[in-house]
Amino acid sequence: MYADIASGGELYTALKGGLPPERVVFHGNNKSEAELRYAIENNIHRIIADCVEELERISRIAAELGTEASVSLRLSPSVTDNTIHTAVQTGKLDSKFGIPIETGAALEAVKLALSLDGIRLAGIHCHLGSPIYDAGIYVNGADVMLRFAARIQKDLHYTLEELILGGGYAVRYLPDQTVPSIPDYIKAISEGVQASAKKHGLPLPELVLEPGRSIVAETGITVYTVGSIKNIPGVRTYVAVDGGMADNPRYMLYGSQYDITLPERAAEEKTQLITLAGRCCECELLGKDMYIQPVKAGDLLAVLCTGAYNYSMASHYNRIPKPPVVMVRGGEDFVAVNRERWEDLAAFDV
């Protein structure tokens, strides 16, 4: 396994956590000079260049440092599907990510990458969006990428070594969702890649997948305490907890759905229809029209499947300190990240 990072801070954290730099892949659509320099100095496994400016920047820094960076090009394959939320359709033409294949820009970028000093072109990359419930979308993406690989082989005599097809493997946010298993995805994708490579007359590239949230999402649970309950007869019942968009902005960003339960009465039937509100000074919610066991102020309330894109997306909005992270290993729990205090919030104020 390798680790994908998307900023200098994530690189710092990965290295500090003991991950060898040769296991790190650097993503992002606008990496800074300082971040690229830090990555190249540490000789990380791969930098995924998102645009021509980045290629030029990497080339200059690597040349200055007298080294060569191993680079893959993020391409925009114009592949999407309306089962992916519009806010996370990252493989379409109209996206901030990647160099478009459709406009001819990708071909020019490969030509440039092959000509620049300090760059070793390792392959091409795309990420289509997330979550993707239909593995067939990856097969379409792979075919576009391999058709492009055939074009660069013919025009530029460059044989593709590595194809990265991104992440987006779905997880079970709701109990009635059916989600392909990782082996299902791998089978569909690898068969698609083999068929496309054959169709386009290419040797099989090494295939890299970026499993992202599917590794950790289902391992995480956010536990809140219920504070106030506001029942508006004939309208709805708002149950407010001691968190909200500051620790989980995903409902507000893209209407993400979650399953909830009262951990202390989890075996009881969920008979009460509620809307789960946060405590921030916005009309923010954690979810609408959700069933839960009969709930009262003071109850613990758990939101399930919050192991990915929750703590990492948390902010200090309304100066709410971030909650602690408690992990469980071999039946023993331990604090992995401390609870923040009000003093911590003021620590950088001058």
Task: Considering the complex, state which of residue 216 and residue 221 has its C-beta at the smaller distance from ligand PLP.
Answer: 216
Residues 160-199 that bind ligand PLP (CB under 6 A): 166-169
Residue 111 has φ and ψ, to the nearest 5°, of -55, -45
SS3 label, residue 89:
coil
| 175 secondary structure, DSSP code | T
Residues forming beta bridges with residue 185, ordered by sequence position: none
Q: Which is nearer to ligand PLP, 9 or 227 (CB)?
A: 9
Q: How far is CA 98 from CA 164, 166, 321, in A?
A: 13, 12, 35
Residues between 214 and 243 that touch ligand PLP (CB under 6 A): 214
Choosing from 72, 78, 89, 130, the residue that interacts with ligand PLP (CB under 6 A) is: 130
Residue showing the smallest CB distance to ligand PLP in the complex: 212
Interface residue with ligand PLP among 8, 11, 14, 27 (CB under 6 A) is: 27
Instruction: Provide the Cα torsion 256, 257, 262, 266; round to 10°.
Output: -140
Beta carbon of residue 14, minimum distance to ligand PLP (angstroms, whole number)? 15
- Closer residue to ligand PLP (CB): 212 or 220: 212
Tally of CB atoms within 10 A around 223: 14
| DSSP 8-state secondary structure symbol assigned to residue 264 | G
Using CB under 6 A as the criterion, what x/- string covers residues 294-323 for binding ligand PLP?
A: --------------x---------------
- Residue from 210, 247, 259, 299 that binds ligand PLP (CB under 6 A)? 210
80 is a contact residue toward ligand PLP (CB under 6 A): no
Instruction: Spell out a b/e string for 153-173, using b for 16 or more CB atoms within 10 Å of the CB, else e.
Output: beeeebebebbbbbbbbbbeb
- Using left for φ > 0, alpha for ψ between -120 and 50, and beta otherwise, residue 66 falls in left
* Residue 281: active-site member: yes
Output the DSSP codes for 213-233: HHHHGGG-EEEEEEEEEEEET
Work out how close the CB of 166 gets to ligand PLP at its nearest, in angstroms, rounded to a whole number: 5
Q: How far is the CB of 31 from ligand PLP (least distance, A)?
A: 13
For residue 98, state whether it binds ligand PLP (rule: CB under 6 A).
no
Tell me the residue type at 260: I
Task: Give the separation between CA 135 and CA 180, rounded to whole angstroms.
Answer: 8
Decide: helix, strand or coil at residue 62. helix
Nearest distance in Å: CB 323, ligand PLP? 21
Q: Which residue, 26 or 224, has its beta carbon nearer to ligand PLP?
A: 26
* 26 interacts with ligand PLP by CB under 6 A: no
The nearer residue to ligand PLP, 260 or 308, going by C-beta atoms, is 308
Mark the segment that binds ligand PLP (CB under 6 A) among 103-111, 181-189, 205-213, 259-267. 205-213
| Chain contacts with ligand PLP (rule: CB under 6 A) | 4, 27, 127, 130, 166-169, 210, 212-214, 308
Would you please indicate which residues are annotated as catalytic (active-site) residues?
Answer: 281
